[in-house]
Structure 1
Amino acid sequence: MTSQPSLPQDLPQVADAEIKPLIEKYLSAEGPLLPMLHEIQGAFGFVPANAVPLLAEALNLTRAEVTGVISFYHDFRKAPAGKHVLKICRAEACQSMGAEALTARMLSLLGLEDHGTTADSRVTVEAVYCLGLCACAPAAMLDGQLIGRASVEGLEKALEGAA
């Protein structure tokens, strides 16, 4: 398996007409950009590139401002995630307990050069900075389930057992 580029050419296309009602839903709200982004990502699994100019125009913002918000909040995706999302903690406690080596080994096993999604779209690997499981470092999360004292073997087993 090899990693996909950060913005693959074969991203699912989302029509402007599908995005606009999600934007209009929050136009009268105060500070509507984040709710709009959450709504869009909830509907499509990511924030399509063509949503940026629509959001900018609706909110009288620049495209750079909208893009800045999307890139600041790491949970917003520019491409769909894989079927399973593996988050590996990279905060200090986990680093001190081998998170760097764990991450490198998992990326190697999955054929990823950096955090990304496997070519078959089965697994997305992401870095997170503290899962609140510092006493059980290194920590990981697979599809919302916390894994303490994570090991390569344990993560492989968890991925194998994932539906």
Structure 2
Amino acid sequence: MNLHLSSRDIDSRTLDIVSEMKSLEGPLLPILHEIQAEFGYVPQEALPVIARELNLSRAEVHGVVTFYHDYRDHPAGRHVLKLCRAEACQSMGGDALAERVKVLLGIDFHQTTLDGSVTLEPVYCLGLCSTAPAAMLDGEVHGRLDADAVRDLVAEVRA
């Protein structure tokens, strides 16, 4: 993931990715996932390239990017902490834990700490309802969270 690419480099790599994947059935989501894996986010410069190559409007591509919570429009921090916001997690104290994490990090959802260490994102189900409240840190799920556990998670990503 290179964050210092020019628009020309983004266009070129986006075109490569789209060309490799556009023959898939329903290629837009896999293409967006691959672009985010490549750049760490879905750059605005990539949207017209995707639209042109898939014969979609830019509005259609933008709509998909903004509809799904997993796509970012800016680079994430070194760590991504996703807190489950689904009903099961809320009913088990997820709202209070989310507020605690926001205070510990000094940011809100969809923000990154000033030092670039952590991006905090809401997620609307991790499939861990039986171990609610839950979170995902850099792809690893954590269940049965309490105040001590979230403090430890935050300490881990701030170290």
Length-normalised TM-score, structure 1: 0.84
Selected match of 2:14 from 8, 19, 22: 19
Selected match of 2:60 from 57, 60, 65: 65
Higher relative contact order (CA 8 A, sep 6+): 1
Would the aligned equivalents of 1:107 and 1:115 in 2 still touch at CA under 8 Å? Answer: no
Map 1:43-82; keep pairs closer than 5 Å.
Answer: 43-82=38-77
Counterpart residue number, 1:109: 104
C-alpha distance in structure 1 between counterparts of 2:148 and 2:12, whole Å = 46
C-alpha distance in structure 1 between counterparts of 2:23 and 2:109, whole Å = 40
1:150 to 2:155 alignment: no
Identity across aligned pairs (percent)? Answer: 54
Q: Provide structure 2 residue ranges, at least 5 long, that are not aligned to the other structure.
A: none
For 1:4-27, what per-residue CA distance to the aligned partner results, in whole angstroms no more than 9, with x for missing partners?
A: xxxxxxx75442122211111123
Length-normalised TM-score, structure 2: 0.86
Counterpart residue number, 1:99: 94
Q: Measure how far apart 1:28 and its partner are.
A: 3.0
For 1:97-153, what per-residue CA distance to the aligned partner results, in whole angstroms no more than 9, with x for missing partners?
A: 111111112112211133321111111111112222222221112122222221232
* Secondary structure, aligned partner of 1:100: helix
Distance 1:41 1:115, change over 3 A: closer
Counterpart residue number, 1:118: 113
Would the aligned equivalents of 1:48 and 1:79 in 2 still touch at CA under 8 Å? Answer: yes
Amino acid aligned to 1:119: L
C-alpha distance in structure 1 between counterparts of 2:73 and 2:35, whole Å = 11
Q: Provide structure 1 residue ranges, at least 5 long, that are not aligned to the other structure.
A: 1-10
* Secondary structure, aligned partner of 2:21: coil
Higher helix share: 2
How many pairs were matched up?
Answer: 153
For 1:53-104, what per-residue CA distance to the aligned partner results, in whole angstroms no more than 9, with x for missing partners?
A: 1111111111110011111222111112111111111111111111111111
Moved more, 148-157 or 80-89: 148-157
